[in-house]
Amino acid sequence: MQFHLVVPGSMSVAESHEICDRIEAAIKADVPDAVVTIHVEPEHKAKHPGGVPVV
């Protein structure tokens, strides 16, 4: 499974990494054999604007 996580541009690398860890853990809880790759992008560089905001 591979997707882009769009975060506020002001978010630190540590904060975005923490979100990725939580998302990956949640996915693997439902799909244990899943291979998860998350690409983090700041919102101002997102290729598809209008995504769901992360808080």
pLDDT digits (tens, 9 = 90+) for 2-50: 999 999 999 999 999 999 999 999 999 999 999 999 999 998 887 765 5
The answer to whether the beta carbons of residues 16 and 5 sit under 8 Å apart is yes
Q: What count of residues does the chain have?
A: 55
Whether this model's pTM surpasses 0.85: no
Which residues in 13-46 are b (16+ Cβ under 10 Å) and which e?
eeebeebbeeebeebeeeeeeeeeebeebeeeee
The answer to whether the beta carbons of residues 51 and 41 sit under 8 Å apart is no
User: What pLDDT score does 50 carry?
Assistant: 58
User: What pLDDT score does 45 carry?
Assistant: 81
Distance (Å, whole) CA 29 – CA 6: 22
